[in-house]
Structure 1
Amino acid sequence: MEESVVYQEILREGLAKGKAEGLAKGKVEATNQIALNMLRSNMSPDLVAQLTGLTLKQIQKLQKISTKKPRTKKPQ
């Protein structure tokens, strides 16, 4: 019986940790997408950094992405 209680507690902790990590990853991805959209709208990197809280180094990485052509889907 005690093993079941311990197992349930470990399971709850694992689920909570996974949820927190997922939310954090989602926030990072959303911020990067917003910054990428700003760069594609010709906003200056300094302004994008100021508004998003990203570093200029992070902005420079996103600029490299924004200059690449988007992939097109093959017709089905």
Structure 2
Amino acid sequence: MQESVIYQDILQKGLQQGLQQGEERGKKQEPLQLILRQLTRRFGAIEPEIEQQIRTLSIAQLEELAEALLDFSSQSDLVNYLPQPHQED
């Protein structure tokens, strides 16, 4: 079975997908870590809930946050900037 063309094709596609996902995570880590360091330097410790919310942002959202944080004067500006989590009723 491992020698079949179909098996090899599926395996190859899985490997490519895994590599692509790893590359995307790597691209996100650098700006994410930089933004978290900047926020910590500016406002002190960031609450874990806020940090987790920042970690869920896309690369484009992180880039926008990187620019916006230059205008923040308090951690409440950050909280107000971030998308509000959806509350379940």
Structure-2-length-normalised TM-score:
0.48
Q: Which runs of 5+ in 2 are unaligned?
A: 45-62, 80-89
Task: Tell me the equivalent position of 1:64.
Answer: 72
TM-score between the two structures when normalised by the length of structure 1 = 0.55
Matching of residue 21 in structure 1 with residue 10 in structure 2: no
Instruction: Choose 1 or 2 for highest CA Rg.
Output: 1
Alignment of 1:1-76 (within 5 A): 1-40=4-43, 58-59=66-67, 61-62=68-69, 63-64=71-72, 66-68=74-76
The alignment's C-alpha RMSD in Å is 3.1
Q: 1:23 to 1:36 in 2, by over 3 A?
A: same
Q: Give the aligned residue type for 1:20.
A: E
Runs in 1 of length 4+ with deviation above 6 angstroms?
A: none
Measured against aligned partners, the alpha-carbon deviations of 1:22-71 in whole angstroms (never above 9, x if no partner) come to 12212221110111123226xxxxxxxxxxxxx9x834x12438430788
Give unpaired runs (5+ residues) of structure 1.
42-54, 72-76
Question: Which structure is richer in relative contact order (CA contacts within 8 A, separation 6 or more)?
Answer: 2
